[in-house]
């Protein structure tokens, strides 16, 4: 059985590897041998992850990340939300909450 951390890892992998190529989450789940129904249930229950689409300079600090969140999502981050930022070369990932 999969745990929450397994689905978090799968979600980050999907956003980093498959989403830029236009692959659907269902196809990614099938390719990764994970039940799409279980993943979707987890996603609906925990939908607190936001992916910042454009890659950013990883040297930016929390204030810059907050500015980017305001620009892209027009919202204030809540205590139980996580924002995923990727470097331009897509080798580094930063989670901000």
Report the C-alpha gap between 31 and 89 in whole angstroms.
24
* Domain span including residue 90: 48-97
Domain co-membership, 30 together with 54: no
Question: What total number of domains does the chain contain?
Answer: 2
Domain co-membership, 55 together with 43: no
Nearest to 38 by CA among 48, 56, 26: 26
Helix (H) or strand (E) holding 70: helix 62-73
pLDDT for 72 equals 75
pTM of this prediction? 0.46
Q: Angle, nearest 10°, between helix axes 36-46 and 4-13?
A: 100
Per-residue pLDDT of the chain (97 residues; tens, 9 = 90+): 677 788 888 888 888 888 888 888 888 889 989 888 888 888 777 667 777 766 666 676 777 777 777 777 777 766 667 777 777 777 777 776 6
């Amino acid at each position: 059985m999969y745990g929450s951390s397994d689905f978090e890892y799968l979600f980050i992998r999907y956003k980093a590897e498959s989403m830029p190529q236009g692959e659907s989450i269902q196809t990614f789940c099938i390719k990764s041998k994970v039940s799409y129904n279980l993943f979707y249930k987890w996603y609906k229950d925990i939908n607190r992850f936001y992916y910042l689409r454009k890659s950013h300079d990883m040297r930016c600090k929390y204030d810059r990340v907050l500015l980017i969140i305001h620009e892209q999502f027009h919202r204030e981050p809540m205590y139980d939300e996580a924002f995923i930022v990727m470097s331009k070369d897509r080798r580094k990932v930063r989670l901000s909450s």
